[in-house]
Amino acid sequence: MTGRGVSDSISSGLDALGALAEPTRRRLYEFVAQSGRRVGRDEAAQGAGIGRSLAAYHLDKLVEHGLLEVDYARPPGRSGPGAGRPAKLYRRARGEFVLRAPARDYRLLAELLVRAADETGGAVKEAIERGARDLGRSLGAAARRQGGDTGEALRALLHERGYEPAEAEPGMLRLRNCPFDAVASRHPAIVCGLNLALIDGILAGLGGDPASATLAPQDDVCCVAIRTAPD
């Protein structure tokens, strides 16, 4: 990337992340992001505890800065003449913004290492998963020593690591975000295996059943799902 390109990228990132400095705007962004689905203006306003007009203003600013994306759809059951205009619905944008000073490129390092592992074969992949499982076990054991509810400890650990856990249905925990998404999209076999091994280890360290974590790929979420209740 040229000096001008780097400068433009930094400026764009600053503008986007700076938009979240405004408390009301940040509440709206967090509400939409945590919903894990498309959200209309009325629902977002209610979730943030503000009026609809103010919510609409801030939501559109978040779109302008690339933090949210917009879809249009009519409410269920309303179609044909007289149904009115489609509603404006918001969801978290897939793009990401990262700022560091001085510049660091950990994504490039991850890309190089994962690419090498992909080309080398099974032994390296097994070593990566073994290391991820060991690290997860250490994280889980440390959380377990602090006491408290195991389920809450699991959710807190996953949240700290950027997975954004949420109960998709009774007894099933889905992870709404993959912290390694940019690399996972190009090397899913390596990264999904790493994700599963890490979460297996966390469960084992917490004293849970590692087998409750399973690969269950879906669009726009992490490839791992966790059973939190017996079948």
Looking at the chain, the whole-number percentage of residues with pLDDT higher than 70 is 90
Residue range 219-227: mean pLDDT, rounded: 90
Other beta carbons within 10 angstroms of residue 115's beta carbon come to: 14
Where does residue 95 fall: left (phi above 0), alpha (psi -120 to 50 degrees), or beta otherwise?
A: beta
Please state the rounded mean pLDDT for residues 222-229: 90
Per-residue pLDDT band for 145 (boundaries 50, 70, 90) equals very high
Evaluate whether 178 touches 110 at the Cβ level (below 8 Å): no
Using the predicted structure, report yes or no on whether residue 90 has a pLDDT greater than 90.
Answer: yes
pLDDT > 90: percent of the chain: 54
User: 25-64, pLDDT tens digit by residue?
Assistant: 999 999 999 888 899 999 999 999 999 999 999 999 999 9
The tokens for 216 are: 């269950």
Give the mean pLDDT of 187-209.
94
Q: How are strands ordered across the β-sheet holding 39-40? A: 39-40, 87-92, 68-73
Residues constituting the chain: 231
Cβ contact 91:34 at 8 Å:
no
Q: Give every strand in the sheet of 224-227, ordered side by side.
A: 165-169, 172-175, 224-227, 213-215
Structure tokens at 42: 């009325």
Cα end-to-end span (Å), the chain: 51
pLDDT of residue 6: 46
Q: What is the rounded average pLDDT of the residues 101-120?
A: 85
Q: How far is CA 196 from CA 58, 60, 112, in A?
A: 37, 37, 21
Note the pLDDT of residue 116: 87
| Pair of tokens at residue 171 | 């007894």
- Cα–Cα nearest to 20, from 107, 92, 110: 92
